[in-house]
């Protein structure tokens, strides 16, 4: 079959979907990746895997009707010219406009992957109610034409069904995230000298980075030798953390080095991985930390809660609760042995549930590939 995979960010085709694209190629299918040309090396990296790259103008943020209509028409033209047998889209705009474009182009086998609900679903009343209703209705229209819809956690699937976004009888599956390449994110020994607590995230409020910083500043006053690292880029938008606030965290002893090229060095240097997010599809950074043998502290929130077996490979805390987050982190300072035993449990759990090869098998079986 000829398969077109549509994403909203070019490098994600390599970094996040690379193993899936390779699996499709190895199964004998012809595969092309469609996304904005956000990075000039994406076409070359995909070509090395035998996958064609096609650039398309999709703006990840904002709801400009004229630009979004242009994206829809560009996608429709691409799909009409290339005539894929199957279209798979992931992230919000590619799912909506990719599904509609595939329908307009006459593609019969249309699939979508809901990788998280994002800012529009973070608050369904008040100031963001109009945005929520708009995106909900756009999802409902686009997914009507899908043969099947994949979710990364059961909470998101349940919400789409309760809201009537997914029509009755529509085929769905929970894939356990995008999986983690355990040959790339390999286990590494723990630092036994200084406890290092790491959070890797875009600097957004709904990722829980403010709660991480507040808990870290409090613990830093009690345990000056403990280290706290918040690694990730500034992400402009309504949910963004200001540069001034990040500077205050740094003045209080929190290390905020910005984005890094390869997170494996950061994971190898940490003792425990922390992600206090309000909601995720399935957080890749947590899976990568588990694959390297790290204990996890995260929230009892959709997408996050499935990654932790409470008291076995880590702890779950309520969202937005700095005090409970601080207590969970402090357990590893008071009992250094927990990081080792829970890290071993994380590694076993990742291999059992989140290995990318198992996840890709689920995806390809669901799509009939």
Q: Does this chain's domain 2-174 share its CATH topology with 196-354?
A: yes
pLDDT in tens, 283-303: 999 999 999 999 999 999 999
At residue 62, the pLDDT reads: 65
Question: What is the distance between the alpha carbons of residues 354 and 361, in angstroms, rounded to a whole number?
Answer: 11
At residue 191, the pLDDT reads: 81
Average pLDDT for 244-252: 96
Average pLDDT for 63-84: 92
What CATH number belongs to 2-174? 3.40.50.2000
CA atoms within 13 A on the CB side of 110: 22
At residue 238, the pLDDT reads: 81
Nearest to 332 by CA among 189, 186, 190: 190
Task: Kindly report the backbone phi and psi dihedral angles of residue 240, in degrees, each rounded to the nearest multiple of 5, phi listed first.
Answer: -75, 145
Do 97 and 75 form a contact (C-beta atoms < 8 A)?
A: yes
Mean pLDDT of the chain: 94
For the cut 80, the answer to whether the pLDDT of residue 63 exceeds it is: no
Confidence of residue 127 (pLDDT cuts 50, 70, 90): low
Of 65 and 44, the one with more pLDDT? 44
At residue 236, the pLDDT reads: 82
Confidence of residue 318 (pLDDT cuts 50, 70, 90): very high
Of 14 and 130, the one with more pLDDT? 14
Rounded percentage of the chain residues whose pLDDT exceeds 70:
96
For the cut 90, the answer to whether the pLDDT of residue 222 exceeds it is: yes
Task: Kindly report the backbone phi and psi dihedral angles of residue 340, in degrees, each rounded to the nearest multiple of 5, phi listed first.
Answer: -75, -50
Confidence of residue 59 (pLDDT cuts 50, 70, 90): confident
CA 131 from chain centre, in angstroms, equals 21
Question: What is the distance between the alpha carbons of residues 99 and 174, in angstroms, rounded to a whole number?
Answer: 19
At residue 119, the pLDDT reads: 64
Which is the CATH superfamily of the domain at 196-354? Glycogen Phosphorylase B; (3.40.50.2000)
At residue 51, the pLDDT reads: 97
Confidence of residue 65 (pLDDT cuts 50, 70, 90): confident
Question: What is the distance between the alpha carbons of residues 279 and 47, in angstroms, rounded to a whole number?
Answer: 34
Nearest to 276 by CA among 292, 246, 299: 299
Do 36 and 53 form a contact (C-beta atoms < 8 A)?
A: no
For the cut 90, the answer to whether the pLDDT of residue 339 exceeds it is: yes
Average pLDDT for 157-182: 92
Identify the helix (H) or strand (E) that includes residue 18. Answer: helix 18-26
Question: What is the distance between the alpha carbons of residues 356 and 143, in angstroms, rounded to a whole number?
Answer: 25
User: Which residue ranges make up each domain of the chain?
Assistant: 2-174, 196-354
């Amino acid at each position: 079959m000829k398969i077109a995979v549509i994403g909203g960010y070019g490098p994600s085709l390599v970094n996040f979907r690379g193993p899936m694209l390779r699996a499709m190629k190895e199964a004998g299918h012809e595969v092309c990746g469609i996304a904005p040309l956000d990075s000039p090396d994406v076409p070359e990296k995909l070509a090395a895997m035998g996958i064609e790259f096609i650039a398309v103008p999709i703006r990840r943020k904002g709801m400009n009707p004229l630009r979004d209509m242009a994206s829809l028409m560009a996608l429709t033209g691409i799909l009409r010219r290339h005539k894929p047998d199957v279209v798979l889209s992931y992230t919000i705009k590619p799912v909506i406009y990719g599904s509609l474009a595939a329908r307009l182009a006459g593609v019969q086998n249309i699939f979508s992957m809901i990788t998280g609900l994002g800012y529009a679903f973070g608050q369904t009343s008040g100031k963001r109610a109009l945005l929520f209703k708009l995106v909900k209705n756009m999802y409902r229209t686009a997914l009507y034409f899908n043969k099947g819809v994949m979710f990364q956690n059961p909470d998101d699937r349940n919400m789409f069904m309760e809201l009537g976004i997914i029509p009755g009888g529509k085929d769905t599956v929970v894939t356990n995230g995008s999986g983690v390449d355990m040959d790339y994110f390999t286990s590494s020994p723990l630092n036994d000298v200084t406890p290092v607590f790491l959070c890797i995230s875009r600097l957004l409020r709904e990722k829980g980075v403010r709660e991480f910083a507040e808990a870290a500043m409090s613990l830093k006053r009690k345990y000056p030798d403990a280290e706290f690292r918040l690694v990730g880029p500034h992400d402009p938008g309504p949910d963004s953390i200001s540069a001034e606030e990040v500077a205050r965290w740094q003045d209080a002893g929190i290390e905020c080095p910005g984005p890094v090229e390869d997170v494996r060095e950061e994971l190898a240097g940490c003792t425990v991985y922390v992600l206090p997010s309000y909601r995720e599809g399935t957080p890749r950074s947590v899976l990568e930390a588990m694959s390297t043998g790290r204990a996890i502290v995260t929230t009892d929130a959709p997408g996050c809660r499935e990654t932790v077996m409470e008291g076995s490979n880590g702890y779950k805390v309520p969202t937005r609760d700095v005090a409970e987050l601080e207590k969970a982190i402090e357990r590893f300072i008071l009992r250094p042995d927990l990081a080792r035993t829970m890290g071993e449990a994380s590694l076993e759990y990742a291999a059992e549930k989140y290995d990318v090869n198992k996840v890709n098998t689920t995806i390809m079986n669901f799509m009939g590939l």
